[in-house]
Structure 1
Amino acid sequence: MKLTAINKYPVKSLKGLSLDSSLIDEFGIENDRRWMLVDSDGRFVTQRKHPIMGTIAVEDRDGLLRFTSAEGSVLDVQAGDFVNSIDAQVWSDNIVALGAGDAISGWFSELLGTPVNLVYMPDSTFRQVDRNYADYKQRVGFADGFPFLLISEASLEDLNSRLDSPVAMSRFRPNLVVTGCDAFEEDSWQLIRIGDIEFELVKPCSRCIMTTIDEVSLNYGKEPLKTLATYRRNDYGVCFGQNLVHQNQGVLSVGANVEVLKRL
Protein backbone atom coordinates (compact mmCIF):
# COMPACT_ATOMS: atom_id res chain seq x y z
CA MET A 1 0.00 0.00 0.00
CA LYS A 2 1.08 3.56 -0.68
CA LEU A 3 0.32 7.06 0.55
CA THR A 4 -1.07 8.96 -2.44
CA ALA A 5 -2.04 12.32 -0.94
CA ILE A 6 -1.22 14.60 1.98
CA ASN A 7 -3.65 17.45 2.59
CA LYS A 8 -3.54 20.18 5.18
CA TYR A 9 -6.07 22.84 6.11
CA PRO A 10 -4.26 25.76 7.74
CA VAL A 11 -7.53 27.48 8.65
CA LYS A 12 -10.39 25.28 9.86
CA SER A 13 -13.08 24.95 7.17
CA LEU A 14 -11.23 26.97 4.50
CA LYS A 15 -9.72 25.43 1.37
CA GLY A 16 -6.99 22.84 1.82
CA LEU A 17 -3.53 22.47 0.36
CA SER A 18 -2.13 19.38 -1.35
CA LEU A 19 1.46 18.61 -0.31
CA ASP A 20 4.22 16.39 -1.63
CA SER A 21 5.69 16.11 1.86
CA SER A 22 5.30 17.68 5.28
CA LEU A 23 6.83 17.84 8.69
CA ILE A 24 4.72 16.04 11.27
CA ASP A 25 5.04 17.92 14.57
CA GLU A 26 3.28 17.71 17.93
CA PHE A 27 0.01 18.97 16.45
CA GLY A 28 0.09 16.77 13.34
CA ILE A 29 0.80 18.08 9.84
CA GLU A 30 2.73 21.31 10.31
CA ASN A 31 0.30 24.28 10.49
CA ASP A 32 -2.76 22.10 9.97
CA ARG A 33 -5.78 23.86 11.51
CA ARG A 34 -3.72 26.13 13.73
CA TRP A 35 -6.06 28.97 12.71
CA MET A 36 -9.83 29.28 12.65
CA LEU A 37 -12.60 31.86 12.39
CA VAL A 38 -14.76 32.60 15.43
CA ASP A 39 -17.91 34.64 15.89
CA SER A 40 -18.40 37.56 18.26
CA ASP A 41 -18.81 35.10 21.15
CA GLY A 42 -15.55 33.31 20.33
CA ARG A 43 -17.31 30.20 19.02
CA PHE A 44 -15.88 28.45 15.97
CA VAL A 45 -17.38 29.12 12.55
CA THR A 46 -17.43 26.51 9.76
CA GLN A 47 -18.87 25.66 6.36
CA ARG A 48 -21.77 23.99 8.10
CA LYS A 49 -23.34 27.44 8.32
CA HIS A 50 -21.18 29.42 5.89
CA PRO A 51 -20.43 27.35 2.74
CA ILE A 52 -18.58 30.32 1.21
CA MET A 53 -15.68 29.50 3.54
CA GLY A 54 -14.84 26.61 1.25
CA THR A 55 -14.05 29.07 -1.57
CA ILE A 56 -11.36 30.97 0.36
CA ALA A 57 -7.88 29.74 -0.53
CA VAL A 58 -5.01 30.01 1.92
CA GLU A 59 -1.25 29.57 1.61
CA ASP A 60 1.14 29.44 4.55
CA ARG A 61 4.84 30.11 4.08
CA ASP A 62 7.61 31.59 6.18
CA GLY A 63 5.31 33.07 8.82
CA LEU A 64 2.94 34.55 6.23
CA LEU A 65 -0.64 33.58 5.47
CA ARG A 66 -2.02 34.67 2.11
CA PHE A 67 -5.78 34.46 1.64
CA THR A 68 -7.50 34.72 -1.74
CA SER A 69 -11.26 35.01 -2.13
CA ALA A 70 -13.19 33.52 -5.05
CA GLU A 71 -13.38 37.04 -6.51
CA GLY A 72 -9.61 37.47 -6.35
CA SER A 73 -9.33 39.70 -3.30
CA VAL A 74 -6.04 39.04 -1.47
CA LEU A 75 -5.20 39.43 2.22
CA ASP A 76 -1.73 38.90 3.69
CA VAL A 77 -1.47 38.13 7.41
CA GLN A 78 1.80 38.01 9.33
CA ALA A 79 2.49 35.86 12.38
CA GLY A 80 2.97 39.07 14.38
CA ASP A 81 -0.59 40.19 13.63
CA PHE A 82 -1.95 37.84 16.32
CA VAL A 83 -1.49 39.67 19.62
CA ASN A 84 -4.86 39.82 21.39
CA SER A 85 -5.70 37.03 23.83
CA ILE A 86 -9.14 35.60 23.05
CA ASP A 87 -11.21 32.88 24.70
CA ALA A 88 -12.17 30.67 21.76
CA GLN A 89 -14.42 27.64 21.67
CA VAL A 90 -14.38 24.63 19.36
CA TRP A 91 -17.11 22.14 20.21
CA SER A 92 -16.95 21.72 24.01
CA ASP A 93 -13.32 22.84 24.35
CA ASN A 94 -12.50 26.34 25.58
CA ILE A 95 -9.12 27.52 24.36
CA VAL A 96 -6.91 30.53 24.93
CA ALA A 97 -6.12 31.77 21.41
CA LEU A 98 -4.58 34.84 19.84
CA GLY A 99 -6.79 37.08 17.75
CA ALA A 100 -6.00 39.24 14.72
CA GLY A 101 -6.73 42.96 14.36
CA ASP A 102 -9.83 44.74 13.08
CA ALA A 103 -8.62 45.10 9.49
CA ILE A 104 -8.03 41.36 9.15
CA SER A 105 -11.31 40.48 10.83
CA GLY A 106 -13.13 42.97 8.63
CA TRP A 107 -11.92 41.25 5.45
CA PHE A 108 -13.42 37.92 6.56
CA SER A 109 -16.54 39.54 8.05
CA GLU A 110 -17.35 41.15 4.71
CA LEU A 111 -16.97 37.85 2.85
CA LEU A 112 -19.14 35.91 5.30
CA GLY A 113 -21.65 38.68 5.92
CA THR A 114 -21.32 38.38 9.68
CA PRO A 115 -18.77 39.54 12.30
CA VAL A 116 -15.91 37.05 12.64
CA ASN A 117 -12.33 37.09 13.84
CA LEU A 118 -9.31 35.07 12.75
CA VAL A 119 -7.58 33.37 15.69
CA TYR A 120 -4.40 31.35 16.12
CA MET A 121 -3.56 28.52 18.52
CA PRO A 122 -0.10 29.23 19.99
CA ASP A 123 2.29 26.52 21.15
CA SER A 124 1.52 27.52 24.73
CA THR A 125 -2.10 26.34 24.40
CA PHE A 126 -2.66 22.62 24.91
CA ARG A 127 -5.88 21.10 23.59
CA GLN A 128 -6.15 17.38 24.09
CA VAL A 129 -7.69 15.00 21.58
CA ASP A 130 -11.08 13.52 22.43
CA ARG A 131 -10.44 11.68 25.70
CA ASN A 132 -13.24 9.23 25.02
CA TYR A 133 -11.11 7.57 22.34
CA ALA A 134 -7.51 8.50 23.13
CA ASP A 135 -7.03 9.17 26.82
CA TYR A 136 -3.28 9.76 26.71
CA LYS A 137 -1.66 13.17 26.43
CA GLN A 138 -1.94 13.89 22.72
CA ARG A 139 -2.52 17.45 21.53
CA VAL A 140 -4.51 18.66 18.55
CA GLY A 141 -5.10 22.01 16.86
CA PHE A 142 -8.53 23.28 15.86
CA ALA A 143 -9.53 20.02 14.13
CA ASP A 144 -12.84 18.60 15.33
CA GLY A 145 -11.23 16.00 17.55
CA PHE A 146 -8.10 14.40 16.13
CA PRO A 147 -5.03 15.48 14.17
CA PHE A 148 -5.49 13.13 11.19
CA LEU A 149 -8.25 11.76 8.97
CA LEU A 150 -7.42 8.89 6.62
CA ILE A 151 -9.48 7.56 3.71
CA SER A 152 -8.58 4.95 1.11
CA GLU A 153 -9.11 5.53 -2.59
CA ALA A 154 -10.95 2.21 -2.74
CA SER A 155 -13.52 3.42 -0.21
CA LEU A 156 -14.30 6.48 -2.33
CA GLU A 157 -14.54 4.33 -5.44
CA ASP A 158 -17.03 2.06 -3.66
CA LEU A 159 -19.14 5.06 -2.64
CA ASN A 160 -19.05 6.63 -6.09
CA SER A 161 -20.17 3.35 -7.66
CA ARG A 162 -23.41 3.78 -5.71
CA LEU A 163 -23.99 7.47 -6.53
CA ASP A 164 -25.65 8.91 -9.61
CA SER A 165 -23.09 11.73 -9.58
CA PRO A 166 -19.64 10.91 -8.19
CA VAL A 167 -18.05 13.17 -5.57
CA ALA A 168 -14.42 14.15 -5.19
CA MET A 169 -12.25 13.11 -2.27
CA SER A 170 -12.06 16.79 -1.28
CA ARG A 171 -15.69 16.60 -0.08
CA PHE A 172 -14.41 14.61 2.90
CA ARG A 173 -11.31 16.71 3.67
CA PRO A 174 -8.91 13.85 4.52
CA ASN A 175 -5.34 14.55 5.61
CA LEU A 176 -4.07 11.21 4.31
CA VAL A 177 -5.20 9.18 1.28
CA VAL A 178 -3.93 5.66 0.66
CA THR A 179 -4.18 3.16 -2.17
CA GLY A 180 -3.60 -0.57 -2.56
CA CYS A 181 -6.23 -1.88 -0.14
CA ASP A 182 -9.84 -3.01 -0.37
CA ALA A 183 -12.75 -0.64 0.15
CA PHE A 184 -13.15 0.19 3.85
CA GLU A 185 -10.27 -2.07 4.79
CA GLU A 186 -9.04 0.86 6.91
CA ASP A 187 -11.91 0.11 9.30
CA SER A 188 -10.03 -3.00 10.45
CA TRP A 189 -6.70 -1.29 11.15
CA GLN A 190 -5.63 -0.43 14.67
CA LEU A 191 -1.98 0.54 14.22
CA ILE A 192 -0.21 1.45 10.98
CA ARG A 193 3.14 2.83 9.86
CA ILE A 194 3.42 5.28 6.98
CA GLY A 195 7.04 5.85 6.11
CA ASP A 196 8.73 6.24 9.50
CA ILE A 197 5.66 7.47 11.39
CA GLU A 198 3.26 5.25 13.32
CA PHE A 199 -0.41 6.07 13.69
CA GLU A 200 -3.11 4.66 15.93
CA LEU A 201 -6.59 4.51 14.42
CA VAL A 202 -8.86 5.57 17.26
CA LYS A 203 -12.33 6.23 15.85
CA PRO A 204 -14.43 6.04 12.67
CA CYS A 205 -15.17 9.53 11.37
CA SER A 206 -18.86 10.38 11.53
CA ARG A 207 -19.86 12.67 8.68
CA CYS A 208 -21.92 15.86 8.74
CA ILE A 209 -23.81 18.16 6.41
CA MET A 210 -20.54 19.67 5.13
CA THR A 211 -20.11 16.65 2.84
CA THR A 212 -23.36 17.56 1.04
CA ILE A 213 -22.20 21.05 -0.01
CA ASP A 214 -21.54 21.25 -3.74
CA GLU A 215 -18.06 22.74 -4.07
CA VAL A 216 -19.02 24.80 -7.14
CA SER A 217 -22.59 25.97 -6.51
CA LEU A 218 -22.24 25.97 -2.68
CA ASN A 219 -25.74 24.50 -2.47
CA TYR A 220 -26.65 21.84 0.07
CA GLY A 221 -27.85 18.49 -1.26
CA LYS A 222 -28.70 15.06 0.09
CA GLU A 223 -25.71 13.15 -1.23
CA PRO A 224 -23.42 11.54 -0.39
CA LEU A 225 -24.87 11.28 3.14
CA LYS A 226 -28.12 9.74 1.91
CA THR A 227 -26.32 6.85 0.24
CA LEU A 228 -23.71 6.48 2.98
CA ALA A 229 -26.53 6.12 5.50
CA THR A 230 -27.75 2.99 3.71
CA TYR A 231 -24.57 1.03 4.37
CA ARG A 232 -22.16 3.01 6.54
CA ARG A 233 -24.22 3.69 9.66
CA ASN A 234 -22.93 2.42 13.01
CA ASP A 235 -22.87 3.43 16.67
CA TYR A 236 -20.84 6.55 15.79
CA GLY A 237 -23.26 7.75 13.10
CA VAL A 238 -22.83 7.71 9.33
CA CYS A 239 -19.10 7.10 8.96
CA PHE A 240 -16.54 7.48 6.22
CA GLY A 241 -12.83 7.46 6.99
CA GLN A 242 -10.82 6.90 10.15
CA ASN A 243 -9.47 9.34 12.74
CA LEU A 244 -5.80 8.86 13.66
CA VAL A 245 -3.27 10.08 16.20
CA HIS A 246 0.45 9.92 15.51
CA GLN A 247 2.91 8.18 17.80
CA ASN A 248 6.07 10.00 16.71
CA GLN A 249 7.23 12.97 14.65
CA GLY A 250 9.19 13.25 11.44
CA VAL A 251 8.66 13.88 7.73
CA LEU A 252 5.86 12.29 5.73
CA SER A 253 6.00 12.09 1.92
CA VAL A 254 3.62 11.04 -0.84
CA GLY A 255 4.64 7.61 -2.12
CA ALA A 256 5.59 6.32 1.32
CA ASN A 257 4.80 2.70 2.12
CA VAL A 258 1.79 2.00 4.31
CA GLU A 259 2.14 -1.02 6.62
CA VAL A 260 -0.52 -2.45 8.90
CA LEU A 261 1.09 -3.32 12.23
CA LYS A 262 -2.04 -4.35 14.13
CA ARG A 263 -5.63 -5.10 13.22
CA LEU A 264 -8.78 -5.06 15.31
Structure 2
Amino acid sequence: MKVAEIRRYPVKSLLGETLPAATVRERGIEGDRLWAVRDADGKFGSGKNTRRFRRMAGLFDLSAYGGEPAPTVRLPDGREFTADDPAAHRAVSAHLGRPVTLAREAAVPHHDEGPVSLVTTAALARLTGLCGPDPGLDTIDPLRFRANLLLDLAGPPSFPEDDWPGRVLRIGPRLVLRVVRPLTRCVMIDMAQSVAPDRNDLLKTLADAHDMTFGVFAAVEQPGPVTVGDRCRWA
Protein backbone atom coordinates (compact mmCIF):
# COMPACT_ATOMS: atom_id res chain seq x y z
CA MET A 1 0.00 0.00 0.00
CA LYS A 2 1.32 3.46 -0.83
CA VAL A 3 0.24 7.11 -0.91
CA ALA A 4 -1.30 7.89 -4.30
CA GLU A 5 -2.59 11.41 -3.63
CA ILE A 6 -2.38 14.16 -1.00
CA ARG A 7 -5.11 16.78 -0.80
CA ARG A 8 -5.44 19.84 1.39
CA TYR A 9 -8.44 22.13 1.85
CA PRO A 10 -7.19 25.44 3.27
CA VAL A 11 -10.79 26.72 3.61
CA LYS A 12 -13.33 24.20 4.78
CA SER A 13 -15.94 23.16 2.16
CA LEU A 14 -14.21 25.03 -0.67
CA LEU A 15 -12.29 23.25 -3.41
CA GLY A 16 -8.72 22.56 -2.37
CA GLU A 17 -5.35 21.62 -3.78
CA THR A 18 -3.36 18.51 -4.63
CA LEU A 19 0.12 18.46 -3.12
CA PRO A 20 3.25 16.42 -3.91
CA ALA A 21 4.18 16.42 -0.21
CA ALA A 22 2.96 17.82 3.09
CA THR A 23 3.76 18.02 6.78
CA VAL A 24 1.36 16.28 9.15
CA ARG A 25 1.13 17.53 12.72
CA GLU A 26 -1.17 16.52 15.58
CA ARG A 27 -3.96 18.66 14.11
CA GLY A 28 -3.57 17.04 10.67
CA ILE A 29 -2.02 18.21 7.41
CA GLU A 30 -0.51 21.62 7.99
CA GLY A 31 -3.01 24.27 6.89
CA ASP A 32 -5.87 21.86 6.18
CA ARG A 33 -9.30 23.33 6.94
CA LEU A 34 -7.66 25.97 9.10
CA TRP A 35 -10.11 28.57 7.76
CA ALA A 36 -13.85 28.40 7.13
CA VAL A 37 -16.72 30.50 5.82
CA ARG A 38 -18.74 31.78 8.79
CA ASP A 39 -22.19 33.34 8.59
CA ALA A 40 -23.77 36.02 10.75
CA ASP A 41 -25.05 33.38 13.21
CA GLY A 42 -21.58 31.96 13.74
CA LYS A 43 -22.20 28.76 11.80
CA PHE A 44 -19.62 27.46 9.36
CA GLY A 45 -20.32 26.80 5.69
CA SER A 46 -20.76 23.14 4.81
CA GLY A 47 -22.76 20.76 2.69
CA LYS A 48 -24.99 19.86 5.62
CA ASN A 49 -26.92 21.45 8.47
CA THR A 50 -25.84 20.60 12.03
CA ARG A 51 -25.42 22.39 15.33
CA ARG A 52 -22.10 23.85 14.08
CA PHE A 53 -22.48 23.84 10.30
CA ARG A 54 -24.87 25.37 7.80
CA ARG A 55 -25.39 24.23 4.25
CA MET A 56 -24.46 27.02 1.84
CA ALA A 57 -25.04 26.64 -1.89
CA GLY A 58 -22.15 27.87 -4.01
CA LEU A 59 -19.20 26.89 -1.84
CA PHE A 60 -17.90 24.44 -4.44
CA ASP A 61 -17.71 27.33 -6.94
CA LEU A 62 -14.84 28.70 -4.84
CA SER A 63 -11.35 27.30 -4.37
CA ALA A 64 -8.49 27.95 -1.98
CA TYR A 65 -4.81 27.23 -1.85
CA GLY A 66 -2.33 27.57 0.96
CA GLY A 67 -0.37 30.63 1.92
CA GLU A 68 0.91 32.53 4.93
CA PRO A 69 -0.41 34.19 6.98
CA ALA A 70 -3.68 33.28 5.21
CA PRO A 71 -4.70 31.14 2.24
CA THR A 72 -5.81 32.60 -1.08
CA VAL A 73 -9.43 32.26 -2.21
CA ARG A 74 -10.26 32.20 -5.92
CA LEU A 75 -13.70 33.16 -7.24
CA PRO A 76 -15.25 31.74 -10.43
CA ASP A 77 -14.45 34.94 -12.33
CA GLY A 78 -10.74 34.52 -11.56
CA ARG A 79 -10.45 37.17 -8.85
CA GLU A 80 -8.23 36.18 -5.93
CA PHE A 81 -8.09 37.49 -2.36
CA THR A 82 -6.25 36.45 0.75
CA ALA A 83 -8.69 35.11 3.32
CA ASP A 84 -7.83 37.85 5.84
CA ASP A 85 -8.63 40.64 3.35
CA PRO A 86 -11.98 42.40 4.04
CA ALA A 87 -12.45 42.51 0.26
CA ALA A 88 -12.52 38.69 0.31
CA HIS A 89 -15.38 38.74 2.83
CA ARG A 90 -17.36 41.10 0.62
CA ALA A 91 -16.69 39.13 -2.57
CA VAL A 92 -17.57 35.77 -1.04
CA SER A 93 -20.69 37.26 0.57
CA ALA A 94 -21.82 38.58 -2.81
CA HIS A 95 -21.22 35.21 -4.44
CA LEU A 96 -23.11 33.27 -1.77
CA GLY A 97 -25.90 35.83 -1.46
CA ARG A 98 -25.53 36.14 2.30
CA PRO A 99 -23.25 38.05 4.68
CA VAL A 100 -20.24 35.91 5.64
CA THR A 101 -16.67 36.26 6.78
CA LEU A 102 -13.64 34.03 6.36
CA ALA A 103 -12.62 32.92 9.83
CA ARG A 104 -9.47 31.26 11.09
CA GLU A 105 -9.96 28.30 13.41
CA ALA A 106 -10.22 29.13 17.10
CA ALA A 107 -10.59 26.66 19.97
CA VAL A 108 -12.72 24.07 18.14
CA PRO A 109 -11.25 22.40 15.03
CA HIS A 110 -13.07 22.90 11.74
CA HIS A 111 -12.77 19.20 10.87
CA ASP A 112 -16.06 17.33 10.70
CA GLU A 113 -14.74 14.24 12.46
CA GLY A 114 -10.98 14.01 12.79
CA PRO A 115 -7.53 15.24 11.77
CA VAL A 116 -6.58 13.03 8.80
CA SER A 117 -9.05 11.35 6.41
CA LEU A 118 -8.16 8.32 4.29
CA VAL A 119 -9.75 6.47 1.38
CA THR A 120 -8.39 3.61 -0.72
CA THR A 121 -8.41 2.75 -4.40
CA ALA A 122 -9.93 -0.62 -3.45
CA ALA A 123 -12.95 1.07 -1.85
CA LEU A 124 -13.34 3.41 -4.83
CA ALA A 125 -13.34 0.38 -7.12
CA ARG A 126 -15.96 -1.33 -4.95
CA LEU A 127 -18.27 1.69 -4.94
CA THR A 128 -17.75 2.12 -8.69
CA GLY A 129 -18.85 -1.48 -9.14
CA LEU A 130 -22.03 -0.74 -7.23
CA CYS A 131 -23.10 2.44 -9.02
CA GLY A 132 -20.82 3.11 -11.99
CA PRO A 133 -17.96 5.54 -12.70
CA ASP A 134 -18.03 9.26 -13.16
CA PRO A 135 -18.40 10.35 -16.81
CA GLY A 136 -15.14 10.10 -18.71
CA LEU A 137 -13.43 8.07 -15.99
CA ASP A 138 -13.12 4.38 -15.18
CA THR A 139 -13.82 5.05 -11.49
CA ILE A 140 -15.57 7.49 -9.19
CA ASP A 141 -13.42 10.60 -8.86
CA PRO A 142 -11.75 10.46 -5.42
CA LEU A 143 -12.03 14.25 -5.04
CA ARG A 144 -15.74 13.74 -4.19
CA PHE A 145 -14.74 12.41 -0.78
CA ARG A 146 -12.37 15.26 0.09
CA ALA A 147 -9.94 12.90 1.79
CA ASN A 148 -6.47 14.03 2.77
CA LEU A 149 -4.81 10.81 1.62
CA LEU A 150 -5.75 8.43 -1.18
CA LEU A 151 -3.99 5.12 -0.58
CA ASP A 152 -3.28 2.81 -3.49
CA LEU A 153 -4.18 -0.66 -2.30
CA ALA A 154 -3.80 -3.64 -4.58
CA GLY A 155 -6.37 -6.42 -4.59
CA PRO A 156 -10.01 -6.93 -5.49
CA PRO A 157 -12.62 -4.20 -5.05
CA SER A 158 -13.66 -4.12 -1.38
CA PHE A 159 -14.09 -1.91 1.66
CA PRO A 160 -10.79 -2.79 3.40
CA GLU A 161 -11.05 0.14 5.81
CA ASP A 162 -13.82 -1.69 7.66
CA ASP A 163 -11.11 -3.64 9.51
CA TRP A 164 -8.84 -0.67 10.23
CA PRO A 165 -10.25 1.10 13.34
CA GLY A 166 -7.81 0.77 16.22
CA ARG A 167 -4.87 -0.16 13.99
CA VAL A 168 -1.66 1.84 13.71
CA LEU A 169 -0.43 2.82 10.25
CA ARG A 170 3.12 3.97 9.53
CA ILE A 171 3.54 6.14 6.44
CA GLY A 172 6.93 7.03 5.04
CA PRO A 173 9.90 7.51 7.38
CA ARG A 174 8.22 9.03 10.46
CA LEU A 175 4.46 9.59 10.19
CA VAL A 176 2.32 7.34 12.42
CA LEU A 177 -1.50 7.39 12.37
CA ARG A 178 -4.02 5.52 14.49
CA VAL A 179 -7.26 4.80 12.64
CA VAL A 180 -10.27 5.85 14.74
CA ARG A 181 -13.49 5.04 12.90
CA PRO A 182 -15.32 5.14 9.54
CA LEU A 183 -16.31 8.48 8.05
CA THR A 184 -20.05 9.12 7.84
CA ARG A 185 -20.92 10.72 4.52
CA CYS A 186 -23.40 13.43 3.54
CA VAL A 187 -24.98 14.80 0.36
CA MET A 188 -21.73 16.60 -0.55
CA ILE A 189 -20.39 13.47 -2.25
CA ASP A 190 -23.15 13.71 -4.88
CA MET A 191 -22.67 17.43 -5.52
CA ALA A 192 -20.80 18.77 -8.53
CA GLN A 193 -17.30 19.91 -7.68
CA SER A 194 -14.48 20.81 -10.04
CA VAL A 195 -14.68 18.34 -12.95
CA ALA A 196 -17.01 15.92 -11.15
CA PRO A 197 -20.68 16.46 -12.17
CA ASP A 198 -23.83 16.16 -10.06
CA ARG A 199 -24.93 12.65 -9.15
CA ASN A 200 -27.85 11.36 -7.14
CA ASP A 201 -26.83 7.79 -6.34
CA LEU A 202 -23.65 7.73 -4.26
CA LEU A 203 -25.06 8.59 -0.85
CA LYS A 204 -28.08 6.35 -1.40
CA THR A 205 -25.82 3.47 -2.40
CA LEU A 206 -23.65 3.92 0.68
CA ALA A 207 -26.75 4.14 2.87
CA ASP A 208 -28.06 0.87 1.44
CA ALA A 209 -24.78 -1.03 1.26
CA HIS A 210 -22.34 0.42 3.78
CA ASP A 211 -24.05 2.21 6.69
CA MET A 212 -23.53 5.55 4.92
CA THR A 213 -19.78 5.40 5.55
CA PHE A 214 -16.82 5.60 3.21
CA GLY A 215 -13.17 5.82 4.22
CA VAL A 216 -11.88 6.43 7.74
CA PHE A 217 -10.33 9.15 9.80
CA ALA A 218 -7.20 8.83 11.88
CA ALA A 219 -5.50 10.56 14.80
CA VAL A 220 -1.84 11.49 14.55
CA GLU A 221 0.32 9.50 16.95
CA GLN A 222 3.62 10.73 15.58
CA PRO A 223 3.86 13.80 13.33
CA GLY A 224 5.97 13.65 10.22
CA PRO A 225 6.20 14.31 6.50
CA VAL A 226 4.14 12.56 3.83
CA THR A 227 5.04 12.37 0.16
CA VAL A 228 3.24 10.88 -2.82
CA GLY A 229 4.69 7.40 -3.28
CA ASP A 230 5.41 6.82 0.41
CA ARG A 231 4.94 3.21 1.45
CA CYS A 232 2.38 2.43 4.17
CA ARG A 233 2.72 -0.44 6.61
CA TRP A 234 0.86 -1.64 9.68
CA ALA A 235 2.68 -1.40 13.00
Flag whether TM exceeds 0.5 (same fold): yes
Letter in 1 for 2:121: E
Residue 107 of structure 1: how far off its partner (Å): 1.3
> Any stretches of 5+ residues in structure 2 without a counterpart?
49-54, 135-139
Name the CA distance, whole Å, in 2 between partners of 1:69 and 1:175: 23
> Any stretches of 5+ residues in structure 1 without a counterpart?
82-99, 128-140
Name the CA distance, whole Å, in 1 between partners of 2:115 and 2:62: 22
1:113 alignment counterpart? 97
1:253 alignment counterpart? 227
Could you say what secondary structure the match of 2:81 adopts?
strand
Matched, 1:152 2:158: no
Could you say what secondary structure the match of 1:41 adopts?
coil
TM-score (norm: length of structure 1) = 0.77
Alignment of 1:46-85 (within 5 A): 46-48=46-48, 49-77=55-83, 81=84
Deviations 1:24-62, CA, capped at 9 Å, x for gaps: 123110000110011101111113432421121112224
* Number of equivalences: 219
1:2 alignment counterpart? 2
Deviations 1:102-128, CA, capped at 9 Å, x for gaps: x33211100101111110025xx3x3x
Runs of at least 4 residues of structure 1 off by over 3 A? 216-221
Matched, 1:186 2:186: no
1:41 alignment counterpart? 41
Residue 215 of structure 1: how far off its partner (Å): 2.4
Could you say what secondary structure the match of 1:187 adopts?
helix
Contact 1:51 1:213 in 2 (8 A): no
| Seq. identity, % | 29
Deviations 1:168-207, CA, capped at 9 Å, x for gaps: 1111111011112442212212211111211111111111
Q: 1:109 to 1:254 in 2, by over 3 A?
A: same
Could you say what secondary structure the match of 1:222 adopts?
coil
Contact 2:66 2:72 in 1 (8 A): yes
Name the CA distance, whole Å, in 2 between partners of 1:111 and 1:54: 11
Contact 2:9 2:65 in 1 (8 A): no
Select which of 200, 212, 215 maps to 1:241.
Answer: 215
Contact 2:26 2:219 in 1 (8 A): no
Contact 2:8 2:18 in 1 (8 A): yes
Name the CA distance, whole Å, in 2 between partners of 1:11 and 1:28: 14
Matched, 1:176 2:144: no
TM-score (norm: length of structure 2) = 0.86
Residue 220 of structure 1: how far off its partner (Å): 5.9
Q: 1:177 to 1:221 in 2, by over 3 A?
A: closer
2:203 alignment counterpart? 225
Name the CA distance, whole Å, in 1 between partners of 2:159 and 2:196: 28
1:130 alignment counterpart? none
Q: 1:216 to 1:150 in 2, by over 3 A?
A: closer
Could you say what secondary structure the match of 1:159 adopts?
helix
Alignment of 1:194-209 (within 5 A): 194-195=171-172, 196-209=174-187
Contact 1:52 1:112 in 2 (8 A): yes
